Each structure stands twice: as structure tokens, then as C-alpha cells.
Amino acid sequence: MVKEIIACNPADVAVLDPFSGTATTSLTAAEHGNAALSFDINPFLIWLGNVKCRSYPAEHAAFVRDGVEQAIARIPALREQDNWTPSLFNIERWWSSTTLRILAALRAGLVEAFGEAVEDRTDGLAWVAFCRLVIETSSAAFNHVSMSFSSGTVHHEEEHVADLYRAILETVLSSCGSRLPGRAEVVEVDARAIPEMGRRFGLVLTSPPYPNRISYIRELRPYMYWTKFLEEAREAGEMDWKAIGGTWGIATSRLNGWQPDEMALPEILADTVERIASSDGKNARLLATYVLKYFHDMHLHLSSLPKVLESGAQLHYIVGNSTFFGNVVDTPAILGASMKMLGYGAVDSTIIRKRNSNKALFEYDVSARWPG
């Protein structure tokens, strides 16, 4: 869908994704030949997005393979040392002691070969492959809304870990064979308060977090700990509080005392919040406040966005609706009402697909145009 929307625009249209995530939009835009920029507040996602959006010369693959083989060859010697491991809560649920020692030794070898990922002066491709490796060797499962763990940790031998890492690396390197005709970058910007940037965009294409209280930082923790973008649990909670829709950890307790700014918001939002608050569900008022904060923050985002829009800029927001205690949160209608209040034109929404077996849940393309 991202390809189809971008393909409908000429290659000289600058593309903006205010909620980068894993930089899918910017990478697709660069593949099409456009210049693209993405915003995020998560330092790991900023790093990952920029690794993905770079072009790599052909000889770079040989450099990466050579460094990785050096790191793998160092595993036997490094396993005898007391190598650094992340302070991930209940780490024994993730990896057996044997697997953890091998991963820590391999990581130490990668640091010797490439430097730390967090320093942003290293080769990111080897570290992206390592991030995949730590999940492939873990006991975690990501096949539903929230992660779960198998009943017992799996032991991996050194040879298996090394061969699996090589296979993952080859998959990563095979995707970097051609130079991107466009250019893309991910920068640290809070989408609720977009500053003047000295450049304008003709297409905004994004998928912000959905109002369903799923924390993205929670799922990213293993990657962020292993790459040292995260060192303790409190940092994750602080980051989640800054994210639109984030209420994991300390963010949940802060939500109880949160108050919105004094600004006009759509009436449909007030009606939705009241319905949820007056329902019989457990923590109904807390979740009503969550919905209010989500759309309050999205309203702030939409009010600051025109600072970087060209006249006639197109907007496409891929969003999902939600239900709380049987009350439907009509995301496209509420976002559309915010857009109209803020002066956007041609506001419309189209159903893209059903999200799951729940009859009420869909994904939508909420589109608009900035008149300028």
C-alpha cells in the first residue's frame, strides 16, 4: 500500500513520515527515487531506520563478512571471560545460561570488530543481524498481541548459533545489493511539537500508534538492551510516556494524574471518552483518560504539522479503530474531526482491511489535503 500511494506521486515530491517505526515509508520512498524524512523519539528506531535507509557499496558486504568471521572465531576464547550481558528483567526466561554465554561472547567479538552499535560509528548491518539472532535463539514468541515465553528455555550450541548468525547476516546483506535512487533519513523529533525545519513536504504518509494501549517499547526492549540503547527499565517507561499511545510501566501511573491542555477538541472525542468512563469495565476511567490523551496528542501533532507542509500537500494516515468495554473508538472519525477543526481539506477515510476476527475492528486510510 505504501508503494502504491508513493507511486501515484512524482519522484520530486518530498515524503514525510512523522511516526517512523522501522522506517518502512522512508525506505520505500527512497526506493522510488523520492527524498524522505521520518521522525521518531526512540533512539534505537532512529538508528535502525538510518541503517536501513543507507546505500552500501558492493565491497561493503565483504568487509562485514570478514568482521563477522573474526568475531565468530573469537567466541571460544571470549566464552571464558565474564562478558557483558544486558540487565533485562528475568533474562533467564529469554535465554538459557549456555545460550546467553555464547551470545555475550559473540557480542564482545562484534564490539572488537565494529565498535558498539549505540556509538553510531559502526557497521549497523552486523548489529541488525545480531538483533535478529537474539530473538531467534530466545524462548520468546511474538505471534500474538503480546509476547509470551515457552515453558523451558532452549539450549543452543556454539556451532548452531554461529551458523544461524551467518544465515541471518546473508539475508540482511542480500537486501543491500543495489543503490537507492532516492535518499531518506530518520531524525529525532517529537511529532506532537514539530519545529520549523527549513524544508517542506508534499506527501505525508504514516501509520501512527493505534489507540489500543499496546506498548511498542515493550516489544523492542530485548533489541535495545543488547545494543545498549536501553540500560534500565525506568528508561523504557519514560520513553513510553513520551510516545503517543504509550502507557507501559511508569506511564500508566502518570496517566492517572494527567490533565489535557486547554484547547478545543472534537465533540465526538468527548462523547467517546464519556461512554468509556461510564461503563462497567475495570479501570474504565483510566482507559477513558488514555483515549483522551491519545487523541489530544494526535491533535497537537496535526496542529504543528503545517509548519513543514507545502501548499496542497496530501496526507495519508493509516490507523485502526478500537473497542473498550464494548464502546467503539471511531479513530478515523475523531482524527477527521481534528483535521477539519485545524483547517485541513478533503478529509476522507477508506477501509483498508479487517484487523482480526473482531467484527468491529478495521484499518483505515484517513486522507486529507493541506490548502496552505
Dist. CA 311–CA 201, nearest whole Å? 9
The pLDDT value recorded for residue 170 is 97
Calculate the average pLDDT of the chain. Answer: 93
| Rounded average pLDDT over 72-89 | 96
What's the pLDDT at 177?
A: 81
Q: Can you give the pLDDT at residue 145?
A: 56
Tell the CATH topology of 2-54+181-217+229-370. Answer: Rossmann fold (3.40.50)
Cell 515493550: give the residue. 218
pLDDT in the model for residue 146? 62
Q: Which of 81-85, 178-182, 216-220, 302-306 has the lowest mean pLDDT?
A: 216-220
pLDDT at 334 over 90: yes
Per-residue pLDDT tens digits for 117-161: 988 666 799 999 999 999 999 998 765 556 677 766 678 999 999
Q: Identify the residue with better confidence: 209 or 10.
A: 209
Q: Give the residue range(s) of CATH 3.40.50.150 domains in the chain.
A: 2-54+181-217+229-370
Lowest-confidence region among 171-180, 300-309, 325-334: 171-180
* Cell numbers that stand for 314 in this block: 496530501
Per residue in 294-321, pLDDT (tens digit) is 999 999 999 999 999 999 999 999 999 9
Per-residue exposure over 222-249, b if at least 16 CB sit within 10 Å of its own CB, e if not? bbbbbbbbbeeeeebbebbbebbbbbbb
- Helices 97-114 and 158-174: crossing angle, nearest 10°? 50
Task: Quickly state the pLDDT bin for 217 (edges 50, 70, 90).
Answer: confident
Q: What is the mean pLDDT of residues 252-265?
A: 91
The answer, yes or no, to whether residue 247 has pLDDT greater than 90, is: no
What secondary structure does DSSP assign to 49-110, as a single string?
HHHHTS---TTHHHHHHHHHHHHHHTHHHHTTS-------TTHHHHS-HHHHHHHHHHHHHH
Question: What's the confidence (pLDDT) of residue 41?
Answer: 96
How far is the first Cα of the chain from the last one, in angstroms, to the nearest whole number? 26
| pLDDT reading at 225 higher than 80 | yes
Q: Which amino acid is at 134?
A: V
Share of the chain above pLDDT 70, in %: 97
One-letter identity of residue 157? E
